[in-house]
Structure 1
Amino acid sequence: MDVTGKPHEWDEKTWRGLVGQVRAGRNLLPDRWPGGARCAVALSFDSDHETNELRDGGASIGRLSWGEYGARRGIPRIRRVLDRHGVKASFFVPAVAALLHPEEQRSLAEQGHEIALHGWIHERNTDVPPQAERELMLRAADVLENITGQRPVGMRTPSWDYSPATLKIARELGLEYDSSLFADDDPYEILDAGEETGIVELPVEWIRDDAVYFMMNRFGAQRPYTAPTDVLDIFRREFDGARNEGGLFLLTMHPHITGYRSRIFILDELLDHIRSTGDCWIATHAEIARYCAEQAGLKGRT
């Protein structure tokens, strides 16, 4: 919606309109998880690779090589940990990263992991005109389907950046879920200007994202400041809280951040802790979204 004037000058229709564009609808936390599990665990990896530099119009060979590290070393280490624990995860992949590393996506999909939408070149949706955003999302879905043989059913917007057009494009694509918003700890239905959409939101949070603890840009203000052991403690406490409440624990990690020798233990030890409980359901985002939708009798809408 078009907004003019300064915020303190807005009338009630304006500020209510802004707040009401995309809103949390009914809670979709099921009465029980599959097999009587106490909570659900959704592990996600944003395979940004070289697109973090490319989307900013950057040409730094050093930062491009950092993205390549995610594919070259980060993904193999993550896969070994997931294999060791026998669990499946969701990988959110910009289309350009998928085109640069198609075999990575193909082999992950063949192994039973989910490959989901994460933009075209990790663009910020609020910087892209609505028609261009639509074209990029549709083209990205086609790329992932062509590479993996499976049409993506969910998305995570790059940098969790949501434009006024994003939800409508997701509805046009017929997506089953989104994982970019923050309105709850547990799954809920997204409302589009008050209208039920049938799309399940699997909420994210910066607390449960490795990037805020480890990102580094020596030409900017970003500096790593958190010890890996402290990050493990935060993630473990978030999981324990979700399990105590019978809810959803959703974790976001990046291959070019967590995939280092001194950090990969976070994922390994966290999975040791989760699996030691013996009562948690670890599944892909798509599986969890479908289960929540089925339990709530939610039907997709266009």
Structure 2
Amino acid sequence: MRDEVQPWQWDEATWRGHVGRVRAGDRLVPRRWPTGARVAVALSFDSDHETIPLRDGETRPGRLSQGEYGARAAVPRILRLLADFDVPASFFVPAVSALLHPGEVESYVAAGHEVGVHGWIHERNMLLAPDDELELASRSLHTLERLTGVRPVGIRTPSWDFSDATLRIIGELGLTYDSSLMADDEPYELVENGRPTGIVELPVEWIRDDAPYLTMERYGAPRPYTPPRELLTIWRDEFDAAYAERGLFQLTLHPHVIGHRSRLVVLRELIAHIAGHSGVWFATHAEVAEQARALITRTPADSVSP
């Protein structure tokens, strides 16, 4: 242990190598979004359901029922809400969730929503060997394609974890975008060791995620600390800024978290606020990534520079 080199002892090549392994490249924001819109709105739901306790080896009914609520009660409400506003969304689904609730993922596609990869059992990929991470990601991709009839084009890693092998695996699987990293508010191209990859990043942020505000664990530290209606203020301000900057407003939600009665009110009011603006393009993550990816082959003048 005493012979181990500490970070403060790294030479410049070492710390630059760590920082440069996966980096944000060109910002990819069109001058105008489709239909001439000034802002893109990408709503997403991580349908984790029972996979969180299963991943941790928790097989007792209590926590499993908390996840089951997401599939049983929350998802139907969410789908009705999205239909009320005619808003498409992206659902990132662990393959085990999809196998437990195959009719659910079919209903996503039937309603015009996107289904994206979200791991096998919400595994912690930074604890996996690269071959195991690749095998689980590949198995997840093929399972979702078999159940929905549509091959996913994007991934959100479980817990937004990103191992040293994750970007390579995304490329090997032929996925066109990721939504797990946080280097910008706007879409950007992922760069690996100084080389552009052609893979689009649709960045997430804990600010725009329901779980940090509302998660409850009976025997753990997490406790809901934000009244749901305060989230409306935070997320409305995030959208208003994206609207002013002609960029992207992206939101990450979880059915078992946001789908309770007193919380879904907040999402309804937020969507109503957004829909009350002119020039709003509601889109799936795949659709936003397609617009962003088209800019990679264009001249720098066609995109907005950081």
Normalising by structure 2, we get a TM-score of: 0.95
Aligned equivalents of 1:139 and 1:284: distance in 2?
23
SS at match of 2:97: helix
Contact 1:102–1:147, Cα closer than 8 Å, also in 2: yes
User: Deviations 1:159-216 (Å, cap 9, x if unpaired)?
Assistant: 0000000000000011111000000000000011111111110000000000000001
Partners of 2:196 and 2:136 in 1: CA distance: 25
Q: 1:274: how far off?
A: 0.5
Aligned twin of 1:246: 246
**Distance in 2 of aligned mates of 1:47 and 1:35:** 30
Give the alignment of 1:167-186 within 5 angstroms: 167-186=167-186
Residues 2-41 of structure 1 deviation map (CA, whole Å, 9 limit, x = unaligned): xx52111111121111111110001101111112111000
1:263 counterpart letter in structure 2: R
Note if contact 2:198-2:296 (Cα within 8 Å) is conserved in structure 1: no
Structure 2 residue aligned with 1:146 = 146
Deviation at 1:60, TM superposition (A): 3.0
**Which residue of structure 1 lines up, in the alignment, with residue 301 of structure 2?**
none
Q: Take 2:236 and 2:163, find their aligned partners in 1: how far apart are those partners? A: 32
1:61 is aligned to 61
Match of 1:132 in 2: 132
Following the alignment from structure 1 to structure 2, what is the Cα–Cα distance between the partners of residues 251 and 218?
26
Q: 1:106 Cα shift?
A: 0.8
Q: Give percent identity, aligned residues only.
A: 60
Distance (Å, rounded) in 2 between the aligned partners of 1:6 and 1:267:
46
Paired residue type of 1:214: L
Deviation at 1:278, TM superposition (A): 2.2
Gaps of 5+ in 1: none
Q: Which residue does the alignment assign to 1:215?
A: 215
Q: Give the CA deviation at 1:297.
A: 2.4
In 2, the alpha carbon distance for the partners of 1:297 and 1:15 equals: 31
Instruction: Give the stretch that moved more between structures: 83-92 or 9-18.
Output: 9-18
Partner of 2:108: 108
Aligned residue type for 1:232: L
Q: Which structure 1 residue ranges, 4+ long, deviate > 6 Å from structure 2? A: none
Q: How many residues align?
A: 295
Aligned to 2:287: 287
Per the alignment, residue 11 of structure 1 pairs with 11
The separation in 2 between residues aligned to 1:192 and 1:212, in whole angstroms, is 29
